[in-house]
Amino acid sequence: MKTLIFDSSTIITLALNNLLYILKALKKNFDVKFIIPEQVKRECIEKPLNIKRYELEALMINQLLEEGIFELPDSKLRNEISNELTKVLETANHIFRSDGEWIRILGVGESSCIALSNVLDNKKIDNILVIDERTARMLCEKPENLRKLLTSKLHREVGIERQNFSLFQDKKIIRSSELCFVAYKKGLTELRDGTKLLDALLYATKFKGCAISRREIETLKAG
């Protein structure tokens, strides 16, 4: 069984596009487990439930948790995840430095996903991170490109502590766009307009928060 660890960014992208239903279809058709850390639950359910603008999406996401589509980590892992989260946050935010100050690049939500992934890795449990947010993905996949991006955004040179990469290496990461692609290919979407549907799905995720380029979208469509 594959374990997919969801960050808030992916869940919110799907919710805003009314695509949460594909998670039910994917879980029904594949041998997968969808896990959200407690910190992600707070970000996309507990806090938004108290904000009128986001209340509906929070209720929709919470329903998936109540139905067992999303699961929380085993309570036995709580201390391990908490200790690993502290390490991930401390390390991630001491990788890039500019003008003598460390640059904070990760928050608690995505860090908790990486922490859980590390705990599962140590137990030899196969897992995949599901993250739409660009910074966390770049840190795991192409940290040097993240340094270049930060340099461009800050308009000043950014130094890098490469010895701190080990916590973030060898991660398997997918996005909401890849989930939509699989759902489309397996005929699990509610719409059936094959000529436009894949294009619409992929660009919808892009415009609602998924960090995917137009080139990547066209590559997916060609595949």
For residue 72, the tally of other CB atoms under 10 A from its CB is 14
pLDDT of amino acid 223: 75
pTM of the prediction?
0.95
pLDDT mean values, one per 10 residues, the chain (223 residues):
96 98 97 97 97 97 98 95 97 95 96 98 97 96 93 93 90 97 95 86 97 96 85
Question: 180 Cβ partners below 8 Å, 6+ apart?
Answer: 19, 22, 189, 201, 202, 204, 205
Token representation of residue 22: 């594909």
Domains of the chain, first to last: 2-175 (3.40.50.1010)
d(CA 117, CA 92): 15
Reported as a single tens digit per residue, the pLDDT across 101-126 is 999 999 999 999 999 999 999 999 99
Strand 101-102 and strand 96-98: the pairing is antiparallel
pLDDT of amino acid 195: 74
d(CA 202, CA 5): 21
